[in-house]
Structure 1
Amino acid sequence: MLTSLATLATPMLIILGVIVLLWLLGFRIIPSNKIGIVEKWWSPKGSLNEQIIALNGEAGYQPEVLRGGIHFKTPLMYKVHKAPLVTIPQGQIAYVFARDGKPLEPTQTLGRVIPECNNFQNVKAFLEKGGQKGPQRGIIREGTYAFNLAQFIIITEDKTYYLPMGSHSEEVTINKMAALLKDRNGFTPIVIKGTDDKVGIVTVHDGLSLNRDDIIAPTVGDNPEDPDTYHNNFQDPEKFLRAGGFRGRQHQVLVEGTYFINRLFATVELIDKTIIDVGYVGVVVSYIGPKGIDSTGDEYKHGELVENGYRGVWRTPLMPGKYAFNTYAGKIIKVPTTNIILKWISNQSGNHRYDENLKEVSLITKDAFEPSLPLSVVMHIDYKKAPLVIQRFGDIKMLVDQTLDPMVSAYFKNIGQTKTLIQLIQERNEIQNIASSEMMEKFNHYNLELEEVLIGTPSASVNDDKIEIILKQLRDRQIALEQIETYSQQEKAAAKERELREAESKATQQKYLTESEINIQIQSNQGKAEFQRSLQEALKIKTIAEAEAEKEARVGIGKAIAIEEQVRAYGGPQYQVLQDIMNKFTSAIERSKIDIVPKTVISMGQGASSVNAFEMLLSLIIGEKLGVKIDGTGDKVENTRVKEIKDLILKSLEQNNEKKETSDEISVETMNQVAPSKEK
């Protein structure tokens, strides 16, 4: 059994021996995400007096750190403190507080930047190159770093990294520093957006103090062509100080962009850009800069105008636009260049509101009335003369209250004393024109341009009704005059209406007159056309008649010759006439269908011959036509002819009667044709 125990003890002793050996050798394993901070217990070179970091092998915290891996540091001499690597997130800033180093100078707030220390990861270089204890000017940007947390305290937004040393005062200081940075929003960069129309006003907390006469630190180190002093908008504190920058509020401003600025070195206040709208100019009053040369001349006694960039009122105003103007270094007074309307009317004001304190002008007229006169003044300021106006009056509101109000009031008070109340009312236009002309010179004296003076109607005070009585009388008088004029105009209107009615009637009848004239013209044209046609027709008829006449003449001549021969054959012209008559008579009786041979014969007596009444009547007619007496006194030869003619007619009638069945009455017209009058 003893042998077994000895056998088991041997490996354990070996293991224990190995462990003890490794411990004596200082065997250490440092993970890759950690570091080892070496603290030396003792050293032949002694210990430190004031320092914390032993640069020369003394006892104390060593400057170098152990990175991930296997290290041998005997615990008989060294103590290794494991600490994490420090990671700064994207878009954040970390701040550094150095425990060891040279003390800050009386004028310093932050420790100077040591470029050789590799962002505070090389403690030895930091201390050997003059690194100072306390809060540092340099900041740490995004990344992972192996800091010696015995020398440096790293403050981030989420955590403060340091190696505790048991000092309560140090812990309180670090906590205050972290709270201050959070209050200043110092763990994130400064971002100025263009859409916000903001300007960054920088206040530097380190560097030389300003001179006694300065309120704003002048701009320094803003030339990119000088790399030794160009601090790139306060992001490099060392170059800013090297360029001669002063602590305090800076004249240089930050515009749109992202800036990684140490908030312990400088803080930034965002203010609005200065916007000068259309219709305005900006007169700059600068609080900083060297003394300039007056550009107003000897005749101008109200102040100086200087060139832009000098202290005082700038002679050239700013035109409409947006300006990144530092309002701590000066101010911009906006001066309207459009027309300014000033109303001397209670409870009324123009768009610019410069006339809020103005009220009606109290007058005393020539006839001892005390009306209140409302009026308005239209003026404008030449943009080139705006600096002169500001230099003289300070601002437009002061100009109106202290100069224009008493000047205008006094002018109209003087006018009121020379006019009666009625004149003041009735001559308003004339007074207005005179006032505009005379006051223009007064306004020009103050570098103002008067456009127009507008006068309102005078009004009475609350307890004074006499002005209203006068006005009522004027109104009644005017009404009477207007009535007279109305009656006169009505009379003229009635006359005009009568003329209008007559004109309308004439216009109505004119239509018919016009139509008649047109009809007359048409009928005249038709008559002319008919006349021409008649002439043509007459000419045609004449031609035809002449042709017919020629024809008839020739036929008549032929007939005449034949008739003459017949007459000669029948015993002369009378017989020929009788024959023609009998032919016509026979033809008429034939057309009339009369029974010539009567059915009833009337006898003239026993001794009378058989001659009937028709034969007797026929004998009388023939004798009358031939001029022959049938009573027995005539020529025997003539009686014989009458008898022959009668027999011839009767024979012809008897032949015709045989063909007719009926008979009708012989018309008188037919008889007239058969037996024409003797005259014919």
Structure 2
Amino acid sequence: MLELLIMIGVLVLAVYLFLKLIGLRVIPNDKVGIVEKWWSFKGSLDEQIIALHGEAGFQPEVLRGGIHFRTPLMYKVHIVPLVTIPQGQIGYVFARDGKPLDPTQTLGKVIPECNNFQDVRAFLENGGQRGPQRAILREGTYAFNLAQFIVITEDKIYYLPMGNKEEKEMIEKMVQTLKSRNAFRPIVITEDKVGIVTVHDGPSLPSGDIVAPTVGDDPSDPETYHNNFQDPEKFLKAGGFRGRQLQVLVEGTYFINRLFATVELIDKTVIEVGYVGVVVSYVGPKGQDTSGEDYKHGELVEKGYRGVWKDPLMPGKYAFNTYAGKIVKVPTTNIILKWISNQTGTHRYDENLKEVSLITKDAFEPSLPLAVVLHIDYRKAPLVVQRFGDLKMLVEQTLDPMVSAYFKNIGQKKTLIELIQQRDEIQKIASAEMKERFAHYNLELEEVLIGTPMSSPNDNKIDAILEQLRDRQIALEQIETYSRQQKAAEKERELREAEARAAQQKLLTESEINIQIQTNQGKAEYQRSLQEAQKIKALAEAEAEKEARIGIGRAIAIEEQVKAYGGPQYQVLQDVMGKFTQALEKTGIDIVPETVVAMGEKASSASFNAFEMLLTLLLTKELGIEFKVKETEDENVKKIKQEILNSILLAKESDKKEEIKENSQNLQQENNVS
């Protein structure tokens, strides 16, 4: 048994030694094998690292996953991982072997045949250069020969150590440079940003140029179109220079090798409404002057040439390269310049201006505050910029001395009081005269505004003069006030009289109307009285006629009755009986008592009372007969007698009243007629 185990062990050892001898190597699929040849009959390498012709050294081909036989007597296999570039990142390559870089080169040229550096032999045979490469690695997994290439990603460095301290330090320095430039991520430019590109490879700029001209920006030419510096080889083929580029990057994502070019993000140039942008270009060929023969202060050129462009930029956003030129914003709205200390206009071009010091005709030294409103035609804005370079310089070096001198000359011709009282006239004259001066500088003067002269440190007597003017004005105003108050009092008196007249006018009107009404009523009453008189007269005549006829009729009747019944006594008796009958009806006394108690002689006397009363009435004084009332008569008989007597008197009184009434009506009628 022991012998069997010894035989098995020896057999295993023999197999192991055999496999080692023949160089059996198993390489996983996520790794590659780098072959290093120990010796060769073709000798060794002198300067190269990769042996392209079977020499001793690192071989260009790598072993992929699987079983391989490389005898350890001749080869050493270094197993290394595959290189993985994460999504959205960039990998950088450093070549250990290849041709040396040219003096003007910073990075090794791109070798398309090397299949993204995975074919070492193709890289070296097609002129691949050692050092950092222009080509970059995009996301993916690669089988690199890490003896030839060092691959740097954001998270890891892939390489085969060779024990070279200088190389290690160089790699660490390269990593730090890439991280400082955020080189492992693509460049993302947002809406309001512009990318200024600086290329670090290629030929230098010609003398006198500060910005490299735009090249290879035509997509229709695939040989030179570098697609915004993402293809360094085509950029250089198109004639690009190293240095800051005129071409800028706008919104988008760019995979640019930061060892080849770096990008600086700046804000877009915004020209607000109310401004135009005058472009002063530092680059471009010399252009033809378009300012004309009469303009002697500089040249204006077309767009794209060096100098001041004759056409300004209108309001908007511009991806302007501020290293290739500048944009001077010129306001097209009114500009207010204030010669007043501690006050400035909206545009702040006047922040260094102060009041103009004057010396008047009467030797006062006031300070004159003033303001000037001007406007710049947007078409003339390039002329202003070409002439003065800057609007603040225009204000401080030209307008300030010109305006100050003008008003100093005016102040010498006016007294202080004239300067104050004639301010409006001076303002109008100044506006008219200074327009021509401003037009000489391509400016449009809108208005000159003059303030009140103030005391200066050299003259403290101005306040006294102003105080006297104020007192004088107050006195004048008081006179005017009293005069107006007097007129107001007179007007008030007239108003009161008018109000009183108006108040009485109502009564006068009412009285006149009442008089007219009464007049009309009198006339109406007069007419009615005439009509009433005529009516009364007609009625009276008719009544008189009636009474006359009735009287005549009665007289004839009575006369006939008298003749028939015995004379006038009978008529009297008949009337008396009628009255008696009315009296009995009115008093309600029975003519014949319901109960009669008669005893002896008294009884016959009592039953005769009524007839006795009638006979007594026939004998009354009113009839011319003795009328006596016996004391022994009954009270009822007395009442009847008295009623009859009253009726007779009443009838006579009625006749008198009728007569009086008739006489009154006749008198009234006569008055009305008169």
Same fold (TM over 0.5): yes
Q: 2:513 and 2:324 mapped to 1: Cα distance?
A: 97
Distance 1:512 1:170, change over 3 A: farther
Report the RMSD for the aligned CA atoms in angstroms. 3.8
Distance 1:486 1:165, change over 3 A: same
Q: Deviations over 1:260-284 (max 9, x none)?
A: 1101000011111111111111110
Q: Deviations over 1:42-95 (max 9, x none)?
A: 222222222111112221111111111111111111100011111111221110
Q: Which residue of 2 aligns with 1:86?
A: 83
Contact 1:221 1:239 in 2 (8 A): yes
Distance 1:391 1:20, change over 3 A: same
Distance 1:580 1:62, change over 3 A: farther
Instruction: Give the C-alpha shift of residue 570 in structure 1.
Output: 3.4
Q: Deviations over 1:19-40 (max 9, x none)?
A: 1111111111111211111111
Q: Which residue of 1 aligns with 2:669?
A: none
Aligned pair partner of 1:484 in 470, 479, 483: 479
Q: Which residue of 2 aligns with 1:77?
A: 74
Q: Which residue of 2 aligns with 1:205?
A: 200
Q: Match for 1:58: what amino acid?
A: E
Aligned pair partner of 2:176 in 164, 176, 179: 179
1:122 aligns with 2:119: yes
Instruction: Give the C-alpha shift of residue 112 in structure 1.
Output: 0.7
Number of aligned residues? 625
Alignment map for 1:208-357 (pairs within 5 Å): 208-357=203-352
Q: Which residue of 2 aligns with 1:567?
A: 559
Q: Match for 1:618: what amino acid?
A: E
Instruction: Give the C-alpha shift of residue 677 in structure 1.
Output: 10
Q: Match for 2:109: what amino acid?
A: R
Instruction: Give the C-alpha shift of residue 549 in structure 1.
Output: 8.6
Q: Which residue of 1 aligns with 2:654?
A: 673
Instruction: Give the C-alpha shift of residue 313 in structure 1.
Output: 0.6
Q: Which residue of 2 aligns with 1:630?
A: none
Contact 2:27 2:65 in 1 (8 A): yes
Q: Match for 1:100: what amino acid?
A: D
Instruction: Give the C-alpha shift of residue 146 in structure 1.
Output: 1.1
Aligned pair partner of 2:418 in 416, 423, 426: 423
Q: 1:675 and 1:351 mapped to 2: Cα distance?
A: 120
Instruction: Give the C-alpha shift of residue 367 in structure 1.
Output: 1.1
Q: Match for 2:180: what amino acid?
A: D
Contact 1:87 1:142 in 2 (8 A): yes
Provide the secondary structure at the position in 2 that maps to 1:348.
coil
Distance 1:549 1:99, change over 3 A: farther
Instruction: Give the C-alpha shift of residue 163 in structure 1.
Output: 0.5
> Is there any run of 5+ residues in structure 1 with no aligned partner, and where?
596-610, 621-645
Q: 1:581 and 1:138 mapped to 2: Cα distance?
A: 177
Q: Which stretch has the larger CA shift, 494-503 or 162-171?
A: 494-503
Q: Match for 1:673: what amino acid?
A: S
Contact 2:300 2:309 in 1 (8 A): yes
Q: 1:172 and 1:454 mapped to 2: Cα distance?
A: 73
Provide the secondary structure at the position in 1 that maps to 2:258.
coil
Aligned pair partner of 2:448 in 432, 444, 453: 453
Q: Which residue of 1 aligns with 2:50?
A: 53
1:97 aligns with 2:101: no
Distance 1:549 1:393, change over 3 A: same
Q: Deviations over 1:209-240 (max 9, x none)?
A: 11112111111111112222111111111111
Alignment map for 1:467-616 (pairs within 5 Å): 467-508=462-503, 560=552, 564=556, 566-568=558-560, 570=562, 579=571, 583=575, 587=579, 590-591=582-583, 615=619
Provide the secondary structure at the position in 1 that maps to 2:468.
helix
> Structure 1 length as normaliser, TM-score?
0.83
Provide the secondary structure at the position in 2 that maps to 1:319.
coil
Provide the secondary structure at the position in 2 that maps to 1:65.
strand
Q: Match for 1:379: what amino acid?
A: L
Provide the secondary structure at the position in 1 that maps to 2:185.
coil
Q: 1:676 and 1:187 mapped to 2: Cα distance?
A: 150
Q: 1:333 and 1:676 mapped to 2: Cα distance?
A: 131
Q: Match for 1:477: what amino acid?
A: R
Contact 1:593 1:662 in 2 (8 A): no
Q: Which residue of 2 aligns with 1:623?
A: none
Distance 1:247 1:612, change over 3 A: closer
Q: Which residue of 2 aligns with 1:164?
A: 161
Contact 2:27 2:66 in 1 (8 A): yes
Q: 1:34 and 1:583 mapped to 2: Cα distance?
A: 179
Q: Match for 1:165: what amino acid?
A: M
Provide the secondary structure at the position in 2 that maps to 1:389.
helix
Contact 2:365 2:458 in 1 (8 A): no
Aligned pair partner of 1:618 in 608, 619, 622: 622
Contact 1:584 1:674 in 2 (8 A): no
Q: 1:160 and 1:569 mapped to 2: Cα distance?
A: 182
Q: Match for 1:497: what amino acid?
A: E
Instruction: Give the C-alpha shift of residue 174 in structure 1.
Output: 1.1
Alignment map for 1:38-49 (pairs within 5 Å): 38-49=35-46
Q: 1:241 and 1:390 mapped to 2: Cα distance?
A: 37
Q: 1:243 and 1:439 mapped to 2: Cα distance?
A: 56
Q: Match for 2:286: what amino acid?
A: K
Contact 2:573 2:618 in 1 (8 A): no
Q: 1:581 and 1:32 mapped to 2: Cα distance?
A: 183
Instruction: Give the C-alpha shift of residue 465 in structure 1.
Output: 2.4
Instruction: Give the C-alpha shift of residue 511 in structure 1.
Output: 6.2
Q: 2:131 and 2:492 mapped to 1: Cα distance?
A: 109
Q: 2:513 and 2:22 mapped to 1: Cα distance?
A: 147
Distance 1:510 1:226, change over 3 A: farther
Q: Match for 1:87: what amino acid?
A: T
Aligned pair partner of 2:152 in 145, 151, 155: 155
Q: 1:81 and 1:170 mapped to 2: Cα distance?
A: 19
Contact 1:585 1:671 in 2 (8 A): no
Contact 1:373 1:459 in 2 (8 A): yes
Q: 1:449 and 1:584 mapped to 2: Cα distance?
A: 137
Q: 1:95 and 1:437 mapped to 2: Cα distance?
A: 72
Provide the secondary structure at the position in 1 that maps to 2:392.
helix
Q: 1:143 and 1:440 mapped to 2: Cα distance?
A: 72
Q: 1:112 and 1:364 mapped to 2: Cα distance?
A: 78
Q: 2:573 and 2:508 mapped to 1: Cα distance?
A: 63
Q: Which residue of 2 aligns with 1:627?
A: none
Instruction: Give the C-alpha shift of residue 542 in structure 1.
Output: 8.7
Contact 1:294 1:305 in 2 (8 A): yes
1:67 aligns with 2:64: yes
Instruction: Give the C-alpha shift of residue 500 in structure 1.
Output: 3.1
Q: 2:520 and 2:12 mapped to 1: Cα distance?
A: 159
Instruction: Give the C-alpha shift of residue 661 in structure 1.
Output: 5.6
Aligned pair partner of 2:20 in 11, 19, 23: 23
Q: 2:290 and 2:569 mapped to 1: Cα distance?
A: 150
Q: 2:274 and 2:5 mapped to 1: Cα distance?
A: 104
Q: Deviations over 1:516-551 (max 9, x none)?
A: 788899x789969x969x97x999999999899989
Q: 2:578 and 2:178 mapped to 1: Cα distance?
A: 165
Q: Match for 2:622: what amino acid?
A: L
Distance 1:670 1:117, change over 3 A: same
Instruction: Give the C-alpha shift of residue 395 in structure 1.
Output: 0.9
Q: Which residue of 2 aligns with 1:131?
A: 128
Instruction: Give the C-alpha shift of residue 346 in structure 1.
Output: 1.5
